[in-house]
Amino acid sequence: MLNKKNKILLVEDDESLGYLLSEYLKIKDFDVRWAPTGKKALDLVEAHSYELVILDVMLPDIDGFTLAQKITTNYPNLPFIFLTARSLKIDVLKGFSVGAVDYLKKPIDEEELVARIQVLLSRLQPTQTEPEPQEVSHSIGNYTFNFKSQQLIFEDEVIHLTGRENELLGYLVQNKNELCSHKDILVLLWGKNDYFNRKSLNVFISHLRKYLSRDPNIKIENLHKKGFVLKIN
């Protein structure tokens, strides 16, 4: 029986780079669709299912950050990697803030790209170490958290979590009222403990704090240089 190929959407307006990357990824046994514009990318996302989007920040019709937000609004579980020619930290952090799971700076090293794709896709496969709570639903103060459906519910309000927000909240819930170190969170969920991933973690913690702010008995405390504690009184 043939192995199922991972489906990837590549969004890159540079014809030479787009062709090169798409053909290289096909050689590496990925099922790749290439979109040269944001509009074409949205059309392809609507028409087909993908396991990963590789997204250029600079596109002719829409910037990559806005496109990522449009995609995650309808497909919150679809992960994406940013490609950027700009090395400013603010651009990298902005990418993480809209849900990017990784980034690569141009010029692109094709072997590094493939390695990162493989690591990312392997992390998305269910494993025994995945931080999924044993129960489907959890009470967090006045909230109900459903890990399977990626929903956080407060009274009549339903908050749809991204895949990363869901994983992070699930891990904090599993270890509520206990210290979750930066290193443990980053290695388990991001796959690597480095500067940019720590900045990304802080962004997602701020998202969760905002979502949980309607219950004053819930806090995500930051222990300087140590980690975070989900405190529920």
**146, 104: one domain:** no
For 142-166, write each residue's pLDDT tens digit.
999 998 888 999 988 999 888 888 8
* Total domains present in the chain: 2
**76, 39: one domain:** yes
* Within a domain: 2: no
**Contact (CB, 8 A) for 31 and 2:** no
**HEC profile for 15-58?**
HHHHHHHHHHHHHCCCEEEEECCHHHHHHHHHHCCCCEEEEECC
CATH of the domain at 207: 1.10.10.10
- Global pTM value: 0.58
- What pLDDT does residue 135 have? 53
**222, 181: one domain:** yes
**Omega of the bond leading into 79 within 30 degrees of 0 (cis):** no
Three-state SS at 102: strand
**159, 206: one domain:** yes
pLDDT of 60 > 60? The answer is yes
Q: Counting runs of H as helices and runs of E as strands, what totals does the chain give?
A: 8, 12
For 105-148, write each residue's pLDDT tens digit.
888 888 888 988 887 787 665 444 444 444 568 899 999 999 88
The residue range of the domain holding 116 is 7-124
* Within a domain: 170: yes
